[in-house]
């Protein structure tokens, strides 16, 4: 089996595994992005939606492999992989959204919130004593960036006319590319962007509205505070690991590190360490800290307010004009945040992203930006 086919099958399997695990990673009380009262979490309608979603995701993954593998023999494997993975993600997202609609319909038909006192709560301690960015954890990523830049500056005067294409298991396959500044400095520029973006994103996350459960305000606030601290450490550790991998790619690109499978393993080992840390974080902490040990029992007599009308596409999109929050914790999946599209800043952010994407596409189409041919 060729490498493109292996890549196709592994990517399809990864997408399938991610979507298959999405319901288990979500916060309790929000199956498929739909808020339900605590006493309804084991309702047959929710269990049926989970089972149907799991079967659909597995079937989509198998169908994608069955159709894409023969097509890869007849057409360009890279193009087939891109199209197949895109179709699989869209199909799984549609299945997730449909499962949420089924749960929401069952909730409405059964009037699950009848007789409950709905409320929201806030914890002002997150303003008086906020969780701050642990700046000391940014030092490893900065040091790796500085080391990569120093090595690149020393190597710049003796670079060959062309650089390796970084394909295959030894990162030495594919056509070589001209040694332009952007091609040679790409790893360093990516490191710099990542080193700057992660702390800024983290600062925005730490200032976003905390997810406090009205049924257990004190305990959920304690868990969420631990969750934010752990998440901050994880993100900055991941940034350092990615920078280490980019350092290895730079050494290979600048032909300081000779090509070999062992070198490739060493280059991507930091990413494996980051993935292992993410798994450990999920097992020990969970989204919003729901896997952490519980504190003293609380009985407020309240349940978290049902605000499904503001969430769309299975909990991926949030739009609420009456909510002053700009960044909110996403309902769907695990540890993601989304912009409130009902807020003027949300409108501006969405418009800016569309303009950037349109400008990039237009520049590439008109030949203003010369995209390097890497043989993909």
Q: Read off the pLDDT of residues 189-230 as tens digits, 9 standing for 90 and up.
A: 999 999 999 999 999 899 888 888 888 898 999 999 999 999
Together in a domain, 276 and 170: yes
Together in a domain, 185 and 204: yes
Structure tokens of 175? 């056509």
Together in a domain, 323 and 339: yes
Section 83-97 average pLDDT: 93
Residue 369 has pLDDT above 80, yes or no: no
Residue 86 has pLDDT above 90, yes or no: yes
The CA distance from 56 to 58, in Å, is: 6
Instruction: Indicate the range of 128-132, 283-287, 348-352 predicted with least confidence.
Output: 348-352
Residue 34 lies in a domain: yes
Together in a domain, 278 and 373: no
Beta-bridged to residue 118, according to DSSP, are 303
Query: Phi and psi of 311, rounded to 5°?
Result: -110, 140
Whats the size of the chain, residue-wise? 376
Domain's final residue, options 273, 305, 337: 305
Helices H / strands E in the chain, number of each: 9, 8
The CA distance from 191 to 194, in Å, is: 5
Output Rg (C-alpha) for the chain, integer angstroms: 24
Domain's final residue, options 113, 143, 165: 113
Together in a domain, 187 and 270: yes
Confidence of residue 245 (pLDDT cuts 50, 70, 90): very high
pLDDT at 371: 46
Confidence of residue 274 (pLDDT cuts 50, 70, 90): very high
pLDDT at 362: 56
Together in a domain, 143 and 249: yes
pLDDT at 368: 47
Residue 210 lies in a domain: yes
Residue 230 lies in a domain: yes
Instruction: Indicate the range of 60-74, 110-124, 141-155, 318-332 predicted with least confidence.
Output: 318-332
Query: Phi and psi of 328, rounded to 5°?
Result: -130, 155
pLDDT at 16: 95
Domain's final residue, options 86, 113, 140: 113
Section 331-355 average pLDDT: 75
Together in a domain, 219 and 326: no
Confidence of residue 376 (pLDDT cuts 50, 70, 90): very low
Average pLDDT, the chain: 86
Secondary structure letter of residue 49 according to DSSP: H
* pTM over the 0.85 mark: no
Residue 375 has pLDDT above 70, yes or no: no
Give percent of the chain above pLDDT 90: 43
Give 199 or 175, the one with higher predicted confidence.
199
Range of the domain at 53: 1-113
- Which contacts of 114-120 are long-range, i.e. CB under 8 A and separated by 24 or more positions? 116/37, 116/302, 116/303, 117/301, 117/302, 117/303, 118/214, 118/302, 118/303, 118/304, 118/305, 118/306, 119/214, 119/300, 119/302, 119/303, 119/304, 119/305, 120/212, 120/214, 120/304, 120/305
Residue 163 CA: distances (Å) to CA of 79, 180, 254, 320, 376: 24, 9, 7, 50, 16
Together in a domain, 292 and 324: no
Beta-bridged to residue 328, according to DSSP, are 338
How much helix, strand and coil, in percent to the nearest 5, is found in the chain?
65, 5, 30
Residue 203 lies in a domain: yes
Contacts of 64 by beta carbon, 8 Å cutoff, 6+ apart = 12, 84, 85, 87, 88
pLDDT at 239: 96
Shortest CA distance to 104 belongs to which of 18, 40, 21, 19? 40
Residue 321 lies in a domain: yes
Together in a domain, 130 and 33: no
Together in a domain, 199 and 284: yes
**Tens digit of each residue's pLDDT (9 = 90 or more) over 27-71:** 888 888 898 998 888 899 999 999 999 999 999 999 999 998 888
**Tens digit of each residue's pLDDT (9 = 90 or more) over 247-270:** 999 999 999 988 888 888 999 999
User: In the chain, how many domains are there?
Assistant: 3
pLDDT at 364: 45
Give 264 or 349, the one with higher predicted confidence.
264
Residue 168 has pLDDT above 70, yes or no: no
Residue 340 lies in a domain: yes
Contacts of 217 by beta carbon, 8 Å cutoff, 6+ apart = 121, 123, 298, 300
Give 313 or 242, the one with higher predicted confidence.
242
Residue 374 has pLDDT above 60, yes or no: no
Together in a domain, 297 and 148: yes
Together in a domain, 316 and 278: no
Residue 324 lies in a domain: yes
Residue 119 lies in a domain: no
> What are the start-end ranges of the E strands in 168-257?
177-178
């Amino acid at each position: 089996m060729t490498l493109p086919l292996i890549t196709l099958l592994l990517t399809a399997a990864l997408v399938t595994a991610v979507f298959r695990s999405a319901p288990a990673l979500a916060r309790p009380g929000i199956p498929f992005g739909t808020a339900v009262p605590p006493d309804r979490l084991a309702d047959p309608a929710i269990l049926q939606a989970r089972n149907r979603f799991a079967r659909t995701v597995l079937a989509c993954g198998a169908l994608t492999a069955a159709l894409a593998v023969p097509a890869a023999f007849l057409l360009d494997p890279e193009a087939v992989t891109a199209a197949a993975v895109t179709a699989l993600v869209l199909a799984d997202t549609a299945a997730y959204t449909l499962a949420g609609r089924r749960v929401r319909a069952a909730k409405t038909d059964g009037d699950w919130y009848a007789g409950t006192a709905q409320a929201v709560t806030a914890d002002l301690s997150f303003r008086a004593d906020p969780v701050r960015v642990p700046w000391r954890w940014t030092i490893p990523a900065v040091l790796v960036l500085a080391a990569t830049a120093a090595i690149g500056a020393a190597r710049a005067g003796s670079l060959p006319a062309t650089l390796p294409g970084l394909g295959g298991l030894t990162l030495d396959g594919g056509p070589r590319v001209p040694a332009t500044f952007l091609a040679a400095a790409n790893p360093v520029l990516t490191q710099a962007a990542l080193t700057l973006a992660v702390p800024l994103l983290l600062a925005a996350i730490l200032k976003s509205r905390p997810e406090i459960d009205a049924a257990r305000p004190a305990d959920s606030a304690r868990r969420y505070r631990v969750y934010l601290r752990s998440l901050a450490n994880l993100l900055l550790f991941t940034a350092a690991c990615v920078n280490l991998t980019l350092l290895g790619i730079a050494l290979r690109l600048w032909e300081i590190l000779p090509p070999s499978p062992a070198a490739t393993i060493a280059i991507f080992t930091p990413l494996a360490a980051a993935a292992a840390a993410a798994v450990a974080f999920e097992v020990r902490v969970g989204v919003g800290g729901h896997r952490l040990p519980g504190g003293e029992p609380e009985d407020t007599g309240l349940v978290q307010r049902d605000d499904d009308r503001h969430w769309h596409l299975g909990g991926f999109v949030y739009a609420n004009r009456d909510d002053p929050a700009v960044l909110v914790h996403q309902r769907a999946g695990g540890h993601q945040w989304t912009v409130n599209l009902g807020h003027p800043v949300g409108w501006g952010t969405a418009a800016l992203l569309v303009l950037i994407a349109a400008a990039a596409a237009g520049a590439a189409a008109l030949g203003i930006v010369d995209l390097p041919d890497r043989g993909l």
